[in-house]
Structure 1
């Protein structure tokens, strides 16, 4: 079973990503992993922390001579900001007078709920782990999962379709989405320049007012075969698995598969995808059954149907405001302003990159459960046999 976990705090010495269950023989390119980490750091509206960090992954185990060897893969991403926090957050007892308390919880953040749960006198330790900085390790782990998927002809990419009130108003192609990854200057991760300009105006507005803004990103799994996931058990449905993976990201408050939100306010005749049949599979398709549209987002009944799998994440505005909302002090219970920590004002493009990682990890796990294999060659043999079966159906 493909599994991953992360460790580390926002201002700790480093972040750790641990991936186990990868078959042996999967090519691993550190340049690719670091490029994924770079993509997560980009975007208009990011805060000062991203000017401090230059995220790169140091592979500690599980990869030799450029390929996985079947053992757990451990990666470390150093926090350059750690040098400013060594006395504030030491592993040892240290000097309590140097502790930098988060004295009043921020509305919308884990501060208060976490302090209550863990019986902390303030929210410092909650912030350190709940911070979206943790998603850096997820992106590194996701790059390993993407490397596996690419060996099977499956690719994962994202784009932004909404920031604040500004929304992309047209359909896009896979080629447009995939091309965004090659850009050296990332604004808001939208494929349409006019829509992106309107999104930038939304960010400019909150920059002027000391506010924050959220939005919607879309992750696409391209080249996925039919038959991943199952309707047999509630916790094995692909849509539920993907929704949980994306919802687990910091600040994501809603997930939809395909046009799920639109479908809820439409008639069935308007949203269900009419089925056709072609004499032969074209453009690399795994099946000859075709769809007029892909409103279902490539998943029906908890099972992939051969179309691109499409997952949208709705991300709330960041909780840390430069003009803080009302809160209460932890120590005196007196009314005050919420704490402020250096933060972003818009993270929608970065959240999309993190969601790519989570979708890749979730999808790769489903593939490994279905096809198995201790080596890449064994996995490919099983996978290719299945693809031939559904092409010949």
Structure 2
């Protein structure tokens, strides 16, 4: 599968066209909209979340709740467009009193993008570079994860750190007494924390940073359960699953680091404390008692949960801006202020979930290819027999 997206932060809509979706998959539009609503939540979000109530529109490729095999077009309307029609008009001449953005924000795409594309009004850069673009990515991921869930693959996320506040003893969904209870508790948390005490400390940290006119980042963890052995490949670099997932994670705005399993700790430990011993039983087949690899070895899933962590930098728009230089006058100024969040780490967790869902669904369909869900189910069943008899 592949998709292209289009749209700007303050344009009329965000659009994606998805090609290669097999026929006869059941699609629930409410589930896509649920993912969009999750993206808008979180302690520390800005004022725009009160304006936009994102809902997906499907204009092709799905009929009576099932994919047809034709390209799927998804749209999300920007309700704020009515306030920007004159400033973001597609044709005609700009208003005489239109305010050009000439003061690039440190940490954003403004300056590099302006130089690269030779734009004197940096709004032409920031509109597409904005994290508003993740709205349509979440909608696409909300479709892709429905493929995965029909084959027992589930994706979870939680926040491990915001600023200086860390979750010292994180509990993952498969470690909790009740996975559904874990998921519900994290969803209800304004900072996506399973620990009530940590939740309060994280919220206090966000409030403190916001009061100072600053922003704060953090660390999220993605957990994927139910993935069969053998997704991805060791044969060529571009087919390695961890390479693909890392690309998906790092493509999300403001994500600056990614790791799997033990991550950077593998550089501190001897091999005996890094690699996961292999065991076998008649009931379980091959299994591990540890998961330092994070569910991926040699670029392939090994049957254990996939564990990914990502670090998000603070939002670059500050209400007490850093110094910058006006691209027209070359004089020093405080950088421009755009409406923004003090902290978007919980929302980023949802975005990364859905970015990963798209990539994993692609790898799944590469392994179990077919033009219809019926073909794919046959291939999955046949492969499961091979696993059971190995």
Please state which band the TM-score falls in when normalised by the shorter chain.
Answer: over 0.9
Is the CA contact (8 Å cut-off) linking 1:21 and 1:72 kept in structure 2?
Answer: yes
Deviations 1:281-331 (A, max 9, x none): 2xxxxxx11111211110011111000111111110000000000000011
Aligned to 2:61: 62
For 1:198 and 1:74, how far apart are their aligned partners in 2? 42
Asked if residue 274 in structure 1 is aligned to residue 271 in structure 2, the reply is: no
Structure 1 residue matching 2:161: 3-state secondary structure: strand
Deviations 1:3-38 (A, max 9, x none): 122110000001112222111111111111111000
Is the CA contact (8 Å cut-off) linking 2:158 and 2:194 kept in structure 1?
Answer: yes
Where in structure 2 are the equivalents of 1:228-377 lying within 5 Å? 228-281=231-284, 288-377=285-374
Asked if residue 221 in structure 1 is aligned to residue 224 in structure 2, the reply is: yes
Where in structure 2 are the equivalents of 1:165-180 lying within 5 Å? 165-174=164-173, 179=181
Q: TM-score by structure 2 length?
A: 0.96
**Runs of at least 5 residues in structure 2 that lack an aligned partner in the other structure:** none
For 1:87 and 1:248, how far apart are their aligned partners in 2? 31
Q: 1:192 aligns with which of 181, 191, 195?
A: 195
Query: What is the CA RMSD across the aligned residues, in angstroms?
Result: 1.4
Q: 1:114 to 1:217 in 2, by over 3 A?
A: same
Is the CA contact (8 Å cut-off) linking 1:122 and 1:330 kept in structure 2?
Answer: no
Deviation at 1:180, TM superposition (A): 5.9
Q: TM-score by structure 1 length?
A: 0.95
Is the CA contact (8 Å cut-off) linking 2:255 and 2:310 kept in structure 1?
Answer: yes
Aligned residues: 386
Deviation at 1:96, TM superposition (A): 3.4
Q: 1:75 to 1:182 in 2, by over 3 A?
A: farther
Deviation at 1:122, TM superposition (A): 2.7
Greater mean deviation of Cα atoms: 183-192 or 292-301: 183-192
Structure 1 residue matching 2:276: 3-state secondary structure: coil
Structure 2 residue matching 1:86: 3-state secondary structure: coil
Q: 1:341 to 1:181 in 2, by over 3 A?
A: farther
Deviation at 1:179, TM superposition (A): 4.6
Is the CA contact (8 Å cut-off) linking 1:157 and 1:219 kept in structure 2?
Answer: yes
For 1:239 and 1:46, how far apart are their aligned partners in 2? 30
For 2:28 and 2:150, how far apart are their aligned partners in 1? 13
